[in-house]
Structure 1
Amino acid sequence: DKGTGMGVYDLASRTVNLIDGTRTLATEAGKDSNFTPIIEGESYLIDLPNRLAFKHAHSRQNPEADWGTNVLQSIEFAFYVLNLPENFGLIVGGIAVSTVTPENTTVIAASVSNGAAASVRAAEQDTEGLIDGIAVSEPNTNPQMTVPMTITQNGRSWSGENVGRPLIDYYTYLNLYQACANVATANAAAPLNLVSPELGANRCQSLRDAGLLESDTLAEQAAEAQQKINDYGILVEQNLLMPFHYFANTVESISVLYTNSYGRFGVEDNICGFSYAQIDATGVPITATQALLAAQFSDSNGIPPSAGVALINDNAQGGPSENRNSVSSNGVRDQNLPGALCLRRLYTGEDIDGNPLTGAELALHEQVVEGVEAIKVTGDLQDIPMVIVNGRNDAVLAPNHASRAYYALNRAVNSDNTVRYYEILNAHHLDAFNDLAGYNASFIPLHHYYFQALDLMYEHLTSSVALPPSQVVPTTPRGLTSVGTVPPITRANVPPIADNPVDAVLITTEGGTDGITLNVPDLATLPLSVAADDPTPLGSATNLTATLNVDVTYASYTWDLGDGTIIENEPAGTLEYTYAAPGVYTVGVTATTSSGLAFGSTVVEVDEVLTGLTAENSGPTSLGSATAFSATLETGSNATFVWSFGDGGTATGPNPTYTYANTGTYTATVTARNATGTLTAETVVTVEDAPIVGLTAENSSPNLFGQTTDFTATISTGSNVTYTWDFGDGNNSPATTGYQAVLSGDNEVPPITTEASGLTTFDYDPATRELSYVINVENIDNVVAAHIHRGFAGTNGPVIYWLFDPSGVQAPGGTLAPGSPISGTITIDEATAATLQTDGLYVNVHSTDFPMGEVRGQIFATGQASYTYEDVGTYTAMVTATNNVSTVVATTTVEIVASIGSGLVTPENGGAISIGEGDAAIIVIFPPGVVAEPVTISLTRELSPSVAFDGTVLRVLIITALDSEGNVIDNLELNGDYTIRFRYSDAQLSDLDLTEANLQAFVLQDGTYVEIPPATALATTAVDPSANLVTVLADRSGEFLVGTAQAGGGATTVYLPIVIRGTTE
């Protein structure tokens, strides 16, 4: 609005904006740079890299002090351009002659907010007669309070320091208390009050600890904070908007930027530990991307946080991070109260105990105050007429401190009465918010009146039309219809600024330079109220009533009925009207009275009679999938639809979707209502199991004889699945009872970003309905609860069981430390047992950082079973997965091998193992590195040349161990590297060459893990002794197969598994 641009300088790349929005190096831009800061020293760049400097905050020029000059310069430049020869200028006798001059041209200075303040300052500074009039909306004026002032609004009044405060004064005050006031009970209904209540509670407590609040309970503290704000001159009409403004960082951003601007501080001064930067997902400053820097020109308002640039708390514990969510220097996540207190001190010049500042902080305070004085306005417009419009609900620029105070000051210092102030009910600072829920039904657009102010000023200057008197304009919000929608805005919602309004809406002043009082009507009761006996059935008449709440001697009424019909000059305040079509109509009434004009409006709903309601659904539906419902009417309008799905679930609207938690048949009921009556319809829904898809089976073999084999069946999709195992040896298992939930932040609704993860496993006993569980989570802090919830993936559901042990089971409490599993057993009810296999339950782990849940996972059947075979051999195990709509089978091959005589030795238990004659398979365990209890293997040099095995000949593995010098050793402790030689002996192959060339040597490294399947065996050719055993076995695994006849003998040779392990993992 002032043509100055917002100017962003990137300290990392040292790039700037040019006037066309492109970026280049500051050294190349030179004076064409939109903003290049003067930085004293390089230490700031080292200590706080990746920061950004903004012109308004860091130019060291207090640019607001020049706003008036900027506007006057822009007017002079406009005249210069208009008088160029190619435009309207003339060349007479070689001399340029201006044809467009201030004397023959109407100049209106007009803008909003900061630009509006610039227009006001320009008018006060205009010594050349450039400006003819001013039309502004919500100006950011900072008046010099040279005149004692009182502002009244019916029963409320403000005076002294509580009117006309500078912007930085009331914002640094709001910056202390608004975070706490957000959680006040009175603000619970505030639209978009989105800051974490936990952060608000922390701020309240920190204020109490600092002695700035006296109350003890949170509710009392929040109410006290809100009262302090209102006692500081902030209207109660602003209260419901302030929580969202605080969420949008308006309060913090203005407090930080204007402190820097008024104090003429540089970016390297790092005032109160605040800076600007782009941040990563954790809130830590990062190098600004080229995309973000480019976006600043078009998207940033120059007052960060804005367009992706965050406000940083450089004094945060743990290092600089995003201000609101940082841990303050006091160790509390209280939205950086220490930083807010610092900003407040720099304006007030005293600490929270009232002690004057000294030393460096005193010097900073003096700079800030000097800057504030430089931007104050006098109220003397030099008889230039001005129109101000301002929303009463303005939560950005407080009316008592800005527009109201400036208007009263002008009325005191200028007695010519050329300024008008129009206060608009149900309007606020940022019309862009009016499409948001909570705003759309409650507020009307203020800019509509800004445009009217321009028209009024133009007519006044060009046609000498008198400006309407100062007044409160009684607008009517759109509200909500009976079906919860917001009707379109109409003329009736935004009546004009009246040329001759009734006295009840007039804004008046009393007094002069010795003291002035501004009286603003409250209009809790509007001068004209309008009512209707709606909703009305189509074809019936609507009875409308307009009631004047002011004393008049006569009145006539003009009715705008919202359908294009206007009825004028009705003598009575009642009207009967029949609408031709159903709809929502805004009726506006203008009363012309002996005391002036009054405006009012109401909304009328006309409904068509409901007939022919039917309900349908998309079933049958697979469990876990959503069922779509639809309700249709043969006739009817403005209908609401309420559904009951037959299992306790409900929804609204004609076409909802719903996901049932269990299979079954349900009767869904829909009820349609409007003003004419109610209709009900039913539809029957069938919910079937989801078909089983993607069944796979796995097992833990090869295993030694006597060991338990673990089986796992998994599916891609399916519900209510039972698993039955046939282990291939004639024995079957009951249905599996294993369940698990894989926990992650991605499963939360909505998903959250966290490093945490986890797993919950369950074992269910159908006979007792006891559900045993083990929870393990990693990378998570401050866990406060873990539960089983009812609900499918993508939905949130109620808590049905607590999962804490021992004292916390089924009750609040308990702890869960990262990496430390907790376990317990709960008894579930029949309904939960029925839901257990439907994927309709989930585990949710909650933390202080994420009270709604940090990691979550659906509970699903795992198809797990365990079995111990009674004999060695190869088996084909089969699992059958079944539900009500499908049966699927999968198999897995199991290998059970003979065990060594002395049993399995593990690194954990130490001990010895003897490998001798008659062992059908060799299991050697090599522990990784030094073990506490060394494992000793005793090797027999000469083994029997053959072993009978089911009528065939078994090749026997002979192991020879060598020390580092190549000597054969009989005993070794497996806590290092050894060279192990393998060879085979087979009596049926009498001509087998057992020379050194046929011995195989491998270096077994710590950590080696190899399992040779039963269909493979070691080759009998030499292998490089330095070769990796894993690689060698993998390369040569296909050389020998079970049942293969060997050269030199007719017998079939059977090869059993050889397992060599270097670790137990």
Structure 2
Amino acid sequence: MNIHRSLAPLCAALALLPGGISIADAAAPRATAAAPVFEQWRETPHRGTDELLTAGLGLDALRSTTAPAFANPAQPTADEARRRAIWSSWRGIADLTPGGGFGDVYGRLQAVPGREFSAYARIPGARHPHRVLVQVPDTFDAARRCLVVAASSGSRGIYGAIAVAGSWGLTHGCAVAYTDKGTGSDYYDLDAKAGFQADGTPASQGALAFAPVTPTAAHGVAFKHAHSGDNPEADWGQHLLQALQFGLQALDRAYPESAPFTPATTRTLGVGVSNGGGAVLRAAEIDGDWFDAMVAGEPNVSVAGAPPLYDFVTQAALLMPCALLALEDLPQPPLQAQAAAAGSQRCALLKTAGQVQGDDTATQARSARQQLADAGLSDGALRAGAFSTGFDLWRAIAVTYAPAYGRYGAGEHPCAYRFSAAAADGTPGPAAAALRASWWSEGSGIPPGSGVVLVDGNAARSPEDPLQGLNCLRALGRGDSADARRVRAGVAEAAAKAPRRGLPIVVIHGVDDGLVPISMTSDRYVPLARKAGAQIAYWRVDNAQHFDAVLAFPDYRKRYVPLLPYMFAAMDQVWDHLEDPTRALPQDARIQPTPRAEAPLQREQLSIPAAPGR
């Protein structure tokens, strides 16, 4: 699939503006706002064996389960930390398995030489900065200037959107601006008092990306999403806007002879998946013509007046291990035998607590399943949710988001959870220097993982009540305690509003998404946007769940298709329209693709909607 469209129409349109005014001399931009001050500016070249898109690794090395090495495991260089971060970001988002289609059917992995500009940005009133980074390919043409702007998916680090925005934007000759949206992999060792510098290298002093203010008794590991004392989700749209503003300033520096770069003279496309997709939709609310179009995949977006996703996450953390026993033919992993044993135990605990009905495990499982169905979860989403359940992701998310919403610091978790490095036997303990040095490159932004474990303080405090911690997390979203009111106030701050009129938006969501269920997010957001007069297209994709990367498991690729091909197709179609407004924007579609099983993926199996009028 050749996704590289000719930019000639855009070049012609921008080379000479009305009245013979050149781009550099263009009048005031369409959008004005006080430009943020960016701190710790860095500019680094990336060419040859260390280019922008894969850090010189190429497809084979990205596929490898062995991370790029650090010459000194305890003190990597900035280049080594970056290379491993890019390796980790690709593997966490994309299906790169042979036959999976990336680089052949959709997406590109070619080497892209160029430069990177990075800095810290800060939302007014925030305690801590977020990272912003811009990749400028050597193929960038100031006469047909374009900027793709993306926020990391999940809570990933600054390269967390490279497999989507980087692969599409850089190979189109566009600059690509990223933000970690106030989350990211800037972990902090509370015992060693060590974090990470702007270049991703570990340090115990200097301008660290995240150094929490904590009680002296706090121990273990802090990370920005949970422990900054900010509520990053409330500001996701502003994070994306600041990434755009940083992108324009970086282009001013990269091409001073062609400055200024403004929204009026530069095509701007907002792109993101999951939490990054939520950030795109939040940025769509902002007044001013900052963005020309938006493409949001499987967006984590809650609508005011409807139950927030936090409510579902805490319900799933409690009920789903039991509810899954009411479904047959679950995907593996997790192994069904292990899941069944854990699920039976959970059913019994829920029955004792009066949270499910029934005198046997099968009846209790049906009771749990019915509660999730009443909340809006389909059987397809429940089946796909087995992955998140088996890897304890529901609890990890709830434990992270609760203190973020309530703006609690490290050591202040209202439900007595904390995080710690893991010793060799997996038990909590001090972090070895080599482990600590890997966090910035490999951390997902939400432990457990990368040698960090979740510690449940309730286990020691109330061993007779194994569900105390989960029930505490759920009560924060539903109760009336001071902590609950504090958390719910933060949840309300993160609710989405309608986008501005006239902004083209494409929303893409898998019907079987088990982590960010379509019925609780996009199905609610799109009607809200349309009621406000939004110019929005909605692609609902059958046989698609949340994690493209799990298609590396044979049982998942027999059931599901990747979602990223639809992101690339939507970006192609939107871009065609921006270059030539006579080309129609994407239209609504219910897409019915066929999973590839063990055969190589073919484009025909994806049933990608054709551009209108073609």
**Which TM-score bucket, shorter chain as reference?**
0.5 to 0.7
Q: CA 1:413–1:128 in 2, change beyond 3 Å: closer, same or farther?
A: closer
Q: Does 1:369 align with 2:488?
A: yes
Contact kept in structure 1, 2:334 and 2:391, CA below 8 Å:
no
Q: Choose which of 467, 473, 476 in structure 2 pairs with 1:343.
A: 473
Q: Does 1:331 align with 2:459?
A: no
Q: CA 1:183–1:256 in 2, change beyond 3 Å: closer, same or farther?
A: same
Q: CA 1:404–1:196 in 2, change beyond 3 Å: closer, same or farther?
A: closer
Q: Choose which of 452, 461, 486 in structure 1 pairs with 2:569.
A: 452
User: Which AA in structure 2 matches 1:218?
Assistant: T
CA distance in 2, matches of 1:136, 1:457: 12
Name the residue aligned to 1:119: 280
CA distance in 2, matches of 1:276, 1:111: 28
CA shift, 1:167, in A, is 1.6
CA distance in 2, matches of 1:71, 1:289: 35
Q: Secondary structure at the match of 2:363?
A: helix
CA shift, 1:99, in A, is 4.1
User: Which AA in structure 2 matches 1:19?
Assistant: A
Contact kept in structure 2, 1:187 and 1:239, CA below 8 Å:
no
User: Where do 1:60-99 residues align within 5 Å?
Assistant: 60-84=229-253, 87-89=255-257, 98-99=259-260
Deviations 1:121-178 (A, max 9, x none): 11212x3321111012111111123xxxxxxxxxxxxxxxxxx431211101111101
Name the residue aligned to 1:463: 580
CA shift, 1:248, in A, is 1.7
Name the residue aligned to 1:998: none
Name the residue aligned to 1:57: 226
CA distance in 2, matches of 1:299, 1:382: 39
CA distance in 1, matches of 2:580, 2:379: 40
CA shift, 1:499, in A, is 4.1
CA shift, 1:89, in A, is 3.6
Q: Choose which of 436, 439, 446 in structure 2 pairs with 1:293.
A: 436
CA distance in 1, matches of 2:513, 2:225: 23
Q: Does 1:383 align with 2:562?
A: no
CA RMSD of aligned residues (A): 2.0
Deviations 1:432-486 (A, max 9, x none): 000202101111111000001111111122211212321111101224xxxxxx1
Contact kept in structure 2, 1:389 and 1:421, CA below 8 Å:
yes
Name the residue aligned to 2:454: 311
Deviations 1:584-623 (A, max 9, x none): xxxxxxxxxxxxx9xxxxxxxxxxxxxxxxxxxxxxxxxx
Deviations 1:403-440 (A, max 9, x none): 111111111122xx510110111111110000202101
CA distance in 2, matches of 1:129, 1:255: 35
Name the residue aligned to 2:198: 19
Contact kept in structure 2, 1:123 and 1:382, CA below 8 Å:
no
CA shift, 1:193, in A, is 3.3
Deviations 1:257-310 (A, max 9, x none): 111110111111132121111234655311112222122111111111122211
Q: Does 1:476 align with 2:594?
A: yes
Contact kept in structure 2, 1:190 and 1:241, CA below 8 Å:
yes
Larger RCO (alpha carbons 8 Å, 6+ apart)? 2
CA distance in 2, matches of 1:499, 1:22: 45
Q: Does 1:140 align with 2:300?
A: yes
Q: Secondary structure at the match of 1:421?
A: strand
Q: Secondary structure at the match of 2:507?
A: strand
CA distance in 2, matches of 1:15, 1:500: 54
Contact kept in structure 1, 2:584 and 2:612, CA below 8 Å:
no
Q: Choose which of 295, 312, 326 in structure 2 pairs with 1:170.
A: 312
CA shift, 1:102, in A, is 1.4
Contact kept in structure 2, 1:136 and 1:453, CA below 8 Å:
no
Deviations 1:714-753 (A, max 9, x none): xxxxxxxxxxxxxxxxxxxxxxxxxxxxxxxxxxxxxxxx
User: Which AA in structure 1 matches 2:192?
Assistant: S
- The count of aligned residue pairs is 432
Contact kept in structure 2, 1:387 and 1:453, CA below 8 Å:
yes
Contact kept in structure 2, 1:407 and 1:419, CA below 8 Å:
yes
CA distance in 2, matches of 1:52, 1:187: 39
Name the residue aligned to 1:38: 213
CA distance in 2, matches of 1:341, 1:475: 39
Name the residue aligned to 1:759: none
User: Which AA in structure 2 matches 1:142?
Assistant: S
CA distance in 2, matches of 1:231, 1:394: 17
Q: Does 1:211 align with 2:354?
A: yes
Name the residue aligned to 2:547: 430
CA shift, 1:15, in A, is 0.4
Q: Secondary structure at the match of 2:518?
A: coil
Name the residue aligned to 1:492: 604
Deviations 1:684-740 (A, max 9, x none): xxxxxxxxxxxxxxxxxxxxxxxxxxxxxxxxxxxxxxxxxxxxxxxxxxxxxxxxx
TM-score relative to the length of structure 2? 0.68
CA distance in 2, matches of 1:463, 1:303: 42
CA distance in 2, matches of 1:372, 1:406: 16
CA distance in 2, matches of 1:287, 1:310: 12
Greater strand share, structure number: 1
User: Which AA in structure 2 matches 1:458?
Assistant: W
CA shift, 1:380, in A, is 2.7
Unaligned runs of 5+ in 1: 91-97, 146-163, 320-328, 350-356, 480-485, 502-596, 598-1065
CA distance in 2, matches of 1:221, 1:280: 37
Q: CA 1:229–1:20 in 2, change beyond 3 Å: closer, same or farther?
A: same
Deviations 1:672-695 (A, max 9, x none): xxxxxxxxxxxxxxxxxxxxxxxx
Name the residue aligned to 2:514: 395
Q: Secondary structure at the match of 2:404?
A: helix
Q: CA 1:471–1:279 in 2, change beyond 3 Å: closer, same or farther?
A: same
Which protein has the larger Cα radius of gyration, Structure 1 or Structure 2? 1
CA shift, 1:120, in A, is 1.4
Contact kept in structure 2, 1:124 and 1:382, CA below 8 Å:
no
Contact kept in structure 1, 2:350 and 2:356, CA below 8 Å:
yes
CA distance in 1, matches of 2:201, 2:252: 30
User: Where do 1:981-996 residues align within 5 Å?
Assistant: none
User: Which AA in structure 1 matches 2:429?
Assistant: I
CA shift, 1:330, in A, is 4.3
Q: Choose which of 189, 203, 225 in structure 1 pairs with 2:330.
A: 189
Contact kept in structure 2, 1:143 and 1:379, CA below 8 Å:
no
User: Where do 1:577-588 residues align within 5 Å?
Assistant: none
Name the residue aligned to 1:279: 422
Q: Does 1:128 align with 2:288?
A: yes
Name the residue aligned to 1:105: 266
CA distance in 1, matches of 2:536, 2:555: 34
Q: CA 1:456–1:499 in 2, change beyond 3 Å: closer, same or farther?
A: closer
CA distance in 2, matches of 1:381, 1:395: 29
Q: Choose which of 418, 421, 425 in structure 1 pairs with 2:535.
A: 418
CA shift, 1:239, in A, is 1.9
Contact kept in structure 2, 1:9 and 1:53, CA below 8 Å:
yes
CA distance in 1, matches of 2:262, 2:413: 47
Q: CA 1:391–1:496 in 2, change beyond 3 Å: closer, same or farther?
A: same
Q: CA 1:408–1:389 in 2, change beyond 3 Å: closer, same or farther?
A: same
Deviations 1:41-81 (A, max 9, x none): 32x33xxx4x1111100111111122211111111111112
Deviations 1:531-562 (A, max 9, x none): xxxxxxxxxxxxxxxxxxxxxxxxxxxxxxxx
CA shift, 1:250, in A, is 1.6
User: Which AA in structure 2 matches 1:442?
Assistant: R
**Percentage of pairs with the same residue:** 31
Q: Secondary structure at the match of 1:240?
A: helix
